[in-house]
Amino acid sequence: MPRLLITGASGFIGRSLIEALVVRGGDELHGVTWGTPKVPLSDRVSWHECSLLDPGSVDFLFEKLKPEVLIQLAWCADHATYWKDPANFDWLYANLNIARAFIRQGGRRAVFAGTSAEYDWSGQLPLNEFKTPLKPQMLYGSCKLAAYWSIKGFFEQEGVSWAWARFFNPFGPYEDRRRLIPKVCLRLLAGEKQDFDAALSQRDFLHVDDVGSALAALALSEVQGPVNVGNGAPTRVREVVSTLARLMRKDDLVSFSATGGGADAVVADVTRLREEVSWLPSRTMEERLQHTCDWWSSH
């Protein structure tokens, strides 16, 4: 396997990505960390401290490592603020600096982290990489989309292989406790009653270990351009919450009203991921939710 650098490697998705790359025989993996890691650091990776918001530090890192393949995951991601955080501008510029440093040092293949929030969410059809309009509603999605257009133009101009992974709703171990699935699990474990509206919105949930596996497959493929990383199966929020309650034998603690909450759908068209990257999830949604319940129960 080529010399591979993962930025944002100590984050939620990074841990699972590293495990997937190790399974695929990765023997020269380098990861970037800064500050307090969000997950335990793997001993299968050579770790480098670097402030990715500092162009000089980025240039020094890439000049030292000269990675052949880059997977760029780093971005501001605090659950309470990231949708509107002005730091999104800083990370937009950081992504462009990282892209430039990578190409300057002879890199040959890069995958950058995008988001489903780049799409227009007003429709009901699965979101397709080339057919669905790109129309973000928040600063986070707008900055990600600006990074997408800039990186697309730069890599195509320089003739360097690239892909843009648009993530939907990853869940699993080490997820931010304020997000839906961990919040429901932890409240159920505490014996707290939870009342929801009709919860009919449909989302595309994919376990973080499957996200890592899909991302590893994409990085080591020759597929270029935007690729949705999701399950492709529309799942109502109500169904997820009900399944968690049933698996934890806490059905009596969850109730839903007959109205409210809307019925919007944000679901990936995963044709490219399945047919071109040749990737499929390794477990069912219920198996992954059971694993997640067990993990939160033991943590």
Query: What's the pLDDT band for 283 if we cut at 50, 70, 90?
Result: very high
Residues 138-167 have a mean pLDDT of: 98
Whether residue 26 is found in the same domain as residue 141: yes
Whether residue 102 is found in the same domain as residue 182: no
177 in a structural domain = yes
Cα–Cα distance between 70 and 35 in angstroms, integer? 21
277 in a structural domain = no
Predicted local confidence at residue 38, as pLDDT: 73
**Cα 72 versus chain centre, distance:** 11
Whether the predicted pLDDT of 27 surpasses 80:
no
Predicted local confidence at residue 36, as pLDDT: 76
Whether residue 50 is found in the same domain as residue 138: yes
Query: What's the pLDDT band for 57 if we cut at 50, 70, 90?
Result: very high
What's the domain count of the chain? 2
153 in a structural domain = yes
Whether residue 185 is found in the same domain as residue 87: no
Predicted local confidence at residue 262, as pLDDT: 83
The three-class DSSP label of residue 46 is strand
The three-class DSSP label of residue 221 is coil
Q: Which residue has the higher pLDDT, 259 or 292?
A: 292
* CB contact at 8 A, 33 and 8: no
Amino acid at 33: T
Structure tokens at 265: 């759908």
Whether the predicted pLDDT of 85 surpasses 80:
yes
Whether residue 165 is found in the same domain as residue 256: no
Whether residue 120 is found in the same domain as residue 200: no
Whether the predicted pLDDT of 35 surpasses 90:
no
Residue 111: give its domain's CATH number.
3.40.50.720
The three-class DSSP label of residue 146 is helix
Predicted local confidence at residue 260, as pLDDT: 84
> Which structural domain, as residue segments, surrounds residue 293?
172-204+233-267+283-298
Query: What's the pLDDT band for 95 if we cut at 50, 70, 90?
Result: very high
Whether residue 132 is found in the same domain as residue 237: no
Cα–Cα distance between 71 and 111 in angstroms, integer? 5
Predicted local confidence at residue 284, as pLDDT: 96
Whether residue 68 is found in the same domain as residue 186: no
Whether residue 112 is found in the same domain as residue 215: yes
The total number of residues shown for the chain amounts to 299
Query: Tokens 């909450």, residue?
Result: 261
Whether the predicted pLDDT of 92 surpasses 80:
yes
Structure tokens at 275: 């047919």
Structure tokens at 64: 């030292």
Residue 289: give its domain's CATH number.
3.90.25.10
Whether residue 176 is found in the same domain as residue 160: no
91 in a structural domain = yes
* Contacts (Cβ under 8 Å, ≥6 apart) of 133: 119, 120
Cα–Cα distance between 80 and 58 in angstroms, integer? 28
Each residue's pLDDT tens digit, 243-257: 999 999 999 999 999
The pTM assigned to this predicted structure is 0.96
- Strand pairing class (4-7; 69-72): parallel
Each residue's pLDDT tens digit, 198-251: 999 999 999 999 999 999 999 999 999 999 999 999 999 999 999 999 999 999
Cα–Cα distance between 158 and 175 in angstroms, integer? 36
274 in a structural domain = no
Alpha-helical (H) ranges within 173-274 are 180-189, 208-219, 237-247, 271
Whether residue 76 is found in the same domain as residue 92: yes
Query: Tokens 């960390």, residue?
Result: 33
Say what percent of the chain tops pLDDT 90: 91
Each residue's pLDDT tens digit, 97-151: 999 999 999 999 999 999 999 999 999 999 999 999 999 999 999 999 999 999 9
- Strand pairing class (202-203; 235-236): antiparallel
Residue 226 host element (H or E)? strand 225-229
Whether residue 189 is found in the same domain as residue 224: no
For the chain, what is the largest distance between any 2 Cα atoms, rounded to a whole number of angstroms?
59
152 in a structural domain = yes
